[in-house]
Structure 1
């Protein structure tokens, strides 16, 4: 039996998604788990296999031998022999309806993915595929994409999962209760949650850095782990972004610079004065499809059908993990003491850093982990000031005052305690009946004023 890379075991919300698939599908579909490199896909699936099945086989197609590949190539018409050979090769008995076969890093061997249709129809065992870059065009050339796949994206740990990793389950529960009851936490607990959120902002949600921090609270070690991941992503660009790797690298390198601006929209002129979205759209797609970034597109006309109003020429490009953004934005220091000092200064607000960049990226990360596609709204009308506004995020959500029908909830992110809310006021006035609950996510405690809810930053994952 192959083993996955040595990732730490953490409590992940994705585990429940796997359980639901197993119980509901009963072998009628395979589950495809996508996600960035080092986000913990293999570890999660192997943990699930160990707990929920009598036996399992994990086939890592990034390292597997040609002999195993030949089993897939040569035995597709004889499933009895195919399963016998797999069982013998991995020295693992297979039990009908109680064994799981895992196709790990399946993008390295598309033939196996094409075989899923036949295996699911056979019905003897369950199948999970994992991979990054799995849907990029060069990884599906020449194969028939199986319709018997359910897709699931595994994101970096959200703030609640980070609290679980630190043994702060009671605080995580208190935050959820406070959000659902719309009652603020006591001041001391609010301060503790806010401080832990700042730690999460620096560490991020990639499993290895989180496990390092939980074990050592050593920011230098955390930073080393994050920089290895960033190096891995750069190597992936060179390896997989064939023909446009220079454009992908240019976009990737400028993400911190673009997010540090007031409006945070990606300005293509920063790449080249002649740059056009039609020339760089593939680069933005590649980064998003590899789950390295969370792209947030402008909705030209905000209503619950946000996808229909998507303006792909205007976007904000967030890092999928805020901890990686921190390491990307700040050059590596010389020695461990330098790295720890930089992190401590950011943690305690002693270093001049763009808090708005980190706060907005963090909220984007939480919303994406909660399953939202990301949209924002902006309007600039020089002749009508009441129509000039910028709304950070738009969410379709049930609205109690409209009998729980879907409305657009505008979300504004504030990184400081002193701010204005003119854009929210203008948005509500202009779009009126389309607008549901309005949210301000800020460093202060929870409060409510009519249909506007002010949430502390540590509740962004609750939305």
Structure 2
């Protein structure tokens, strides 16, 4: 950094490019592997000739800061996996989502034939996921086995990062347990059962969950003890659910211990043969959409003592001065006892009620029922 002219000359020679002042950008990829390159940003930005982007694993970036000066010039951008609309763009479809928005605004249905086609497209997106590498592999090869291999490589990198910051392996264990914990349909993630061979305190558990959340690899849904406007004020830090930030990775993580040839989930998911006990894949997909559109995740559980029944609202959004409960249904969508009981309990707080399922747009009393591929339109804050 003592001779920037020489540094820029070396870059141009190494990469055989011409740098043009105020028109060229330099990318520091995997910057966590060289912390001093991150520190150099301060000098490079002050020089003013070019702009810079740093990319890398957030977990390692946060840890690899020993003996370096963190540049105040950094502006952090939170990146999410590609959403369904971006997935369609990658497949050279630039019109579908615009048309869907128009139909959604008028609360019209699509007809069974078109809905089945759109749901198949959405299930393909769930299968491939939103990681650029896996989408590129799908476009290049149209081979689900190769896509699965790419996703397994990504998961291995994540788990390696977790072990770097937690040599006991507990973070990796929590991460790997996400699908099985959602499958158990409990009222929250049973951390102590996953880590039953370790002595843990509440503080250590909260610290590990914070690490997972900060990694952006995982999304955390907290229980809202009092589902009301300003949900963050009522969240229970000790009661939560974990979701993967990318549903495509979730699909692979669920069957990571099996060879791809045994992984019939791909065929079942794509052809809508998904069994009821795998419906939490759809729940993860909804969590991903809500998170990527800027929503914090909250859920709510409650009991009817007289009937001795437990109920759960999968997600709650806060809009205006009201709340919007969401129930995710992979099957038997005509029965929605939880959202009905929730309405009885909190009717004066509710703006809109939603059921997200695989069928066409419809209304059941005041409940708007929409297919999964329309979720982003209720998730966008200005659209509710």
TM-score by length of 1: 0.72
1:391 aligns with 2:313: yes
1:268–1:277 CA contact under 8 A, matched in 2: no
Indicate the SS of the match to 2:169.
helix
Aligned to 1:88: 9
Indicate the SS of the match to 2:291.
helix
Indicate the SS of the match to 2:76.
strand
Aligned to 2:301: 378
1:258–1:264 CA contact under 8 A, matched in 2: no
2:59–2:161 CA contact under 8 A, matched in 1: no
Could you tell me how far 1:412 is from its partner in structure 2? 1.2
Could you tell me how far 1:246 is from its partner in structure 2? 1.5
Could you tell me how far 1:242 is from its partner in structure 2? 3.6
User: Alignment partner for residue 191 of structure 1, among 100, 116, 121?
Assistant: 116
2:31–2:61 CA contact under 8 A, matched in 1: no
1:413–1:440 CA contact under 8 A, matched in 2: yes
User: Residue 232 and residue 99 in structure 1: after superposition, are their counterparts in 2 closer, same or farther (change >3 A)?
Assistant: same
> Moved runs in structure 1, 4+ residues, more than 6 A?
383-386
User: Alignment partner for residue 247 of structure 1, among 170, 181, 201?
Assistant: 170
2:173–2:195 CA contact under 8 A, matched in 1: no
CA distance in 1, matches of 2:316, 2:60: 27
2:170–2:195 CA contact under 8 A, matched in 1: no
Could you tell me how far 1:266 is from its partner in structure 2? 0.7
User: Residue 132 and residue 264 in structure 1: after superposition, are their counterparts in 2 closer, same or farther (change >3 A)?
Assistant: farther
Aligned to 2:223: 298
Could you tell me how far 1:195 is from its partner in structure 2? 1.2
User: Residue by residue, what CA displacement relative to the aligned partner does 1:350-391 show, whole Å, maximum 9, x if unpaired?
Assistant: 4646332101001111111212221212234636979x6421
Could you tell me how far 1:118 is from its partner in structure 2? 5.4
422-431 vs 367-376, which moves further: 422-431
1:265–1:315 CA contact under 8 A, matched in 2: yes
User: Residue 141 and residue 315 in structure 1: after superposition, are their counterparts in 2 closer, same or farther (change >3 A)?
Assistant: farther
CA distance in 1, matches of 2:344, 2:67: 53
Aligned to 1:101: 26
* 1:416-455 correspondence to structure 2 within 5 Å: 416-448=331-363, 451-455=366-370
2:127–2:247 CA contact under 8 A, matched in 1: yes
Indicate the SS of the match to 2:102.
helix
Could you tell me how far 1:302 is from its partner in structure 2? 2.4
User: Residue 170 and residue 119 in structure 1: after superposition, are their counterparts in 2 closer, same or farther (change >3 A)?
Assistant: same
1:194–1:443 CA contact under 8 A, matched in 2: yes
Indicate the SS of the match to 1:280.
helix
User: Alignment partner for residue 321 of structure 1, among 222, 231, 246?
Assistant: 246
CA distance in 1, matches of 2:85, 2:45: 35
User: Alignment partner for residue 308 of structure 1, among 213, 224, 233?
Assistant: 233
Indicate the SS of the match to 2:236.
strand
Indicate the SS of the match to 2:172.
helix
1:417–1:444 CA contact under 8 A, matched in 2: no
User: Residue by residue, what CA displacement relative to the aligned partner does 1:50-99 show, whole Å, maximum 9, x if unpaired?
Assistant: xxxxxxxxxxxxxxxxxxxxx3xxx3xxxxx32x1321111155544333
Q: How many residues align?
A: 372
CA distance in 1, matches of 2:291, 2:362: 24
2:276–2:330 CA contact under 8 A, matched in 1: no
User: Alignment partner for residue 160 of structure 2, among 212, 235, 243?
Assistant: 235
Aligned to 2:193: 270
CA distance in 1, matches of 2:247, 2:147: 13
Could you tell me how far 1:417 is from its partner in structure 2? 3.8
* 1:108-123 correspondence to structure 2 within 5 Å: 108-117=33-42, 119-120=44-45, 123=48
CA distance in 1, matches of 2:151, 2:19: 38
User: Alignment partner for residue 180 of structure 1, among 105, 115, 124?
Assistant: 105
* 1:1-400 correspondence to structure 2 within 5 Å: 71=1, 75=2, 81-82=3-4, 84-91=5-12, 94-117=19-42, 119-120=44-45, 123-133=48-58, 137-238=62-163, 240-243=164-167, 245-263=168-186, 265-273=188-196, 275-331=200-256, 334=259, 337-339=261-263, 341-350=264-273, 352=275, 354-380=277-303, 382=305, 389-397=311-319
User: Residue 164 and residue 438 in structure 1: after superposition, are their counterparts in 2 closer, same or farther (change >3 A)?
Assistant: same
Residue segments in structure 2 that go unaligned for 5+ positions in a row: 380-384
1:375–1:394 CA contact under 8 A, matched in 2: yes
CA distance in 1, matches of 2:60, 2:368: 38
Residue segments in structure 1 that go unaligned for 5+ positions in a row: 1-70, 76-80, 398-404
User: Residue 333 and residue 145 in structure 1: after superposition, are their counterparts in 2 closer, same or farther (change >3 A)?
Assistant: closer
Indicate the SS of the match to 1:455.
strand
CA distance in 2, matches of 1:187, 1:351: 19
